[in-house]
Chains A and B, each alone.
Chain A
Amino acid sequence: MIAFNKYYNHFNLLSSVLIVVSLLLLIFKGLNFGIDFKGGTLIELRASDSKINVSSLRDRFNQMDLGDVSVKKFGNDTDFLVKFENKDNKKNIIEEIKTNLDKSFGNSYDFRRVENVGPKVSAELLKSGVIAISLSLALMLIYIWIRFEWQFSLGAILALFHDVIVTLGVFSLFSLEINLSIIAAVLTIVGYSMNDTVVIFDRVRENLRKYSDIKIFELTNISINETLSRTIITSVTTLLALLAIYFFGGEILKGFSLAMILGVVFGTYSSIYIANTVLVRLRVSQKTVLREDDQK
């Protein structure tokens, strides 16, 4: 049996630090919102001429008076991602750009993807993203409240918040782009993290009923160990699937799968070291579950 409980305090400290650092990052550095949430125009461009590179493209675009233009390589050497704000929401901006690029590069390039999100739509998308995440957290809270005693609910929700905040913190730290698919990833992380926590909690509760003489500090450790191989196997298979998406699923899914990978790692960790330590700190005992049973 692995003594997970030996490190409860250490990891609680670590998690607190992680959460504080993430919050500071989110407040002071903020998130790198993509055009979905900030509005603007995105062009994915494929070049068939080596003359076209990041600096020549940047030159061309800067001459067009589009405001702040970002030009990046996208996946391989011939693909580029161009983003700009399109502040005035000009109507024929894409056509203008095409005409302009044609002058310098002829037809040795191709627009593979064009996205243009107006300021109204981006504000709405951001709003509905925030609502979606809040709503999912609220629903999880209600669900876990119905299924478990309040001490368990608190543990599970704290673990959830930890996962969401730290994942977003990592995105802030590395200025990774937040777009619609990241919201999808965060919601899935919420589901996954909850799933992981619930499996261990289920066992904790079962053991609480079974053993009256074991303290919660020990009991959580027993439960974690009993479910450990399931925790590992499920995390591994999920991570295998996600790694396959990350490495082979194309550039568009990279951000999504990275967020999910982080979420699965944090989710697994928090189920063990946050959710359970809340039970220990709240001194959950056999009485906690038996009282609830009596009421039912």
Chain B
Amino acid sequence: MQQFLESFLPAGPVVVFVFSIIPLMIILIYALFAIWLERKVAGHIQDRLGPMQTGGWHGWAQTLADLLKMIQKEDIVPAKADRFLFKMAPFIAFAASYAAFVAIPFSSGYIGSMIDIGVFYIVAITSLLSVSIIMAGWASNNKWSLLGAMRTAAQTVSYEVPTVVTILSVIIVTGTLNLMEVTEMQTGNAFLGFLPSWLIFHSPFMVIAFVLFFIASLAEAHRVPFDLPESESELVGGYQTEYSGMRWGLFMLTEYADMLLLSLVGATLFFGGWNSPFGSFMDGPVWGAFWMLFKGMVLVFVMMWLRWTLPRLRVDQLMNLCWKYLIPLSFVNLVLIALWEMIF
């Protein structure tokens, strides 16, 4: 990819700029699409149509119109808020989730940075999200925001443990933290002759690992049934209560970017990343990008589906689920996967 860009762009900083701007473009276009999709999914689950007017075909321009509206809105900072922290928080939140995309292999020809500690880097950089949320909650000088931020801190710190442990159990199998290499390992049809050699088919315990990972990532992305930080019916808007206009929009963008990030990590670790499900058919760098985003979007769709189906857990039940079930299970699973690796 880099060579391809260098062939027609002036060398140096411009290439680097274009190269690094690609994930941002992907996130922005995806966010516009995902918010529209969320409305459509919600609508059809609830026996209605969702947006139908804006832009003509099934209201495709609805999020675009909302974005324009948000940009025009007055930028309100509460009088007694900590202005600096209040203004910084959304940027840090978005920067954290955007920075994580650098280690995601979008296709066999494109990865932001080929770092050997890819997964570790992603886990580390997304921890910044909780910092920004606590910043937002504290700086707003609003008790509801503070409650939301406190919940987030507890939730994110707790759920990082099962996420990391399930990722670790995948790493035991792959032997590398580099997501590009993890994906390359999953090329071909190794299992039973026809199943793609994705890690989810590697052993029954990998299925358990995926389920644990998915539940934990729901909590990490603050999606129903774990959307306590912003639980609308309890905390008004949680840490977002005092935000309006584009600052709020950035939090929204972060939420959706985070969903995609965790879905893409899940797709890479368990579903073969950019590998085609049909062996060498529909393979190649361009199809690779398609498959990667497609697999990610399927997981994003499941998250939306859950959101419009399930009620919300209470904060103590959330902690119970994490510390009493998810963490012990993920550790047991880690040991079982390690044993499986040793025996076979």
Q: Do A and B form a real pair?
A: no
